Amino acid sequence: AQAARRKLADHYPHLHNAELSKTLGKLWRLLSDDEKRPFIEEAERLRVI
């Protein structure tokens, strides 16, 4: 998510953090379960640490 936030902020430097969050949320909801899986697995791995 951090990498996606940075990339989005680089492309749209005028957006405030709240707008970036909304946009990232919309993009996340558009992803299929298969596309989300690597991110979910990484989040679970980091929770264990």
- Number of domains present in the structure of the chain: 1
* pLDDT score, position 1: 78
Domain that holds residue 13: 2-48
pLDDT band for position 5 (50/70/90)?
very high
Q: CATH no. for residue 14?
A: 1.10.30.10
pTM of the model: 0.77
Predicted confidence (pLDDT) at residue 49 exceeds the cutoff of 90: no
b/e map 25-41, b = 16+ CB within 10 Å: eeeeeeeeeeeeeeeee
Q: Which amino acid is at 8?
A: L
Predicted confidence (pLDDT) at residue 25 exceeds the cutoff of 90: yes
